[in-house]
């Protein structure tokens, strides 16, 4: 595997109007779920004319995809940046895991937006593309860390599959916590992920 120096995600730059529409989209999804996913409701929240969605994004699905990608990368950036405070790959994974279950991520409204976006993936190719892009950045970072760890201790079954496995566990815990936050705490989610990494690297 080619070593990639992933220290941040490939976030796009947006105009003030685009950013305002994207934030209004996220706020609508967080407050109303899929019912908030309409041009009228988003523009009302943004206090902007309906036609500006078409002007800035072309379609509602393009706006949703941009909002999804920006939310994903904004949450991932902090985890990735914080994890690069150490050169030790196992410690880097621990910091990354802790950040993915930090207070800024473990918000009912934030994770509710995730669930709504995931439900749109099969219906909107733009959102599927955004999902695939964010997931790839997520996995590349993890695979890089597992590959470095594999140089000193065996990672099972492979660094690539370990990255896929940890990504699936984090996604699953986010989803479960969003649906039933009383079932487990963020600290317990961190412990589950740490135990899984220890088992994969044992």
Q: Examine residue 107 and state whether it is found in any structural domain, yes or no.
A: yes
pLDDT at position 24 is: 95
Q: Rounded mean pLDDT of the chain?
A: 88
pLDDT at position 45 is: 94
Contact 28, 36 (CB under 8 A): yes
Whichever domain contains 187, its CATH number is: 1.10.357.10
Q: Examine residue 146 and state whether it is found in any structural domain, yes or no.
A: yes
Q: Please state the rounded mean pLDDT for residues 98-127.
A: 90
Q: Examine residue 19 and state whether it is found in any structural domain, yes or no.
A: no
Contact 145, 193 (CB under 8 A): no
Q: What is the CA radius of gyration of the chain?
A: 18
Q: Please state the rounded mean pLDDT for residues 116-143.
A: 90
Give the residue numbers spanning the domain of 160: 64-200
What is the CB-side half-sphere exposure of residue 43 using CA atoms within 13 A? 14
Q: Please state the rounded mean pLDDT for residues 18-30.
A: 94
Q: Examine residue 17 and state whether it is found in any structural domain, yes or no.
A: no
Q: Examine residue 124 and state whether it is found in any structural domain, yes or no.
A: yes
Burial of residue 102 (CB within 10 Å: 0-12, 13-18, 19+) is: middle
Q: Please state the rounded mean pLDDT for residues 31-39.
A: 88
pLDDT band at 10 (very low <50, low <70, confident <90, very high): low
> Rounded to an integer, what distance in angstroms lies between the CA atom of residue 154 and that of residue 90?
12
- pTM for this predicted structure: 0.85
> Rounded to an integer, what distance in angstroms lies between the CA atom of residue 133 and that of residue 138?
9
> Rounded to an integer, what distance in angstroms lies between the CA atom of residue 133 and that of residue 91?
26
Q: Examine residue 4 and state whether it is found in any structural domain, yes or no.
A: no
pLDDT over 70 at 8, yes or no: no
Contact 137, 73 (CB under 8 A): yes
Number of domains in the chain: 1
Q: Examine residue 184 and state whether it is found in any structural domain, yes or no.
A: yes
| Alpha-carbon torsion (110, 172, 148, 160), positive or negative | negative
Residue pLDDT, tens place only, 141-183:
999 999 999 888 888 889 999 999 999 999 999 999 998 999 9
pLDDT at position 11 is: 59
Query: Residues of the chain with pLDDT > 90: what percent?
Result: 58
Q: Examine residue 153 and state whether it is found in any structural domain, yes or no.
A: yes
């Amino acid at each position: 595997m080619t070593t990639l120096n992933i220290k941040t995600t490939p976030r796009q730059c947006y105009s003030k109007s685009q950013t305002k529409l994207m934030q209004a989209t996220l706020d609508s999804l967080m407050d109303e779920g899929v019912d908030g996913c309409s041009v009228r409701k988003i523009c009302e929240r943004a206090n902007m004319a309906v036609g500006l969605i078409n002007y800035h994004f072309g379609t509602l699905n393009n706006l949703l995809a941009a909002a999804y990608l920006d939310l994903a990368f904004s949450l991932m950036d902090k985890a990735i940046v914080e994890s690069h405070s150490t050169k030790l790959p196992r410690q880097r994974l621990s910091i990354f895991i802790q950040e993915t279950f930090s207070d800024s991520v473990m918000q009912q409204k934030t994770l509710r937006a995730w669930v709504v976006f995931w439900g749109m993936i099969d219906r909107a190719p733009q959102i599927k593309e955004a999902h695939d892009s964010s997931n790839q950045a997520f996995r590349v970072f993890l695979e890089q860390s597992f590959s470095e760890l594999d140089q000193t201790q065996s990672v099972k079954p492979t660094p690539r599959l370990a990255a896929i496995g940890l990504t699936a566990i984090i996604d699953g815990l986010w989803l479960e916590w969003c649906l039933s936050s009383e079932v487990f705490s963020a600290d317990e989610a961190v412990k589950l992920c740490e135990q899984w990494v220890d088992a994969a690297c044992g």
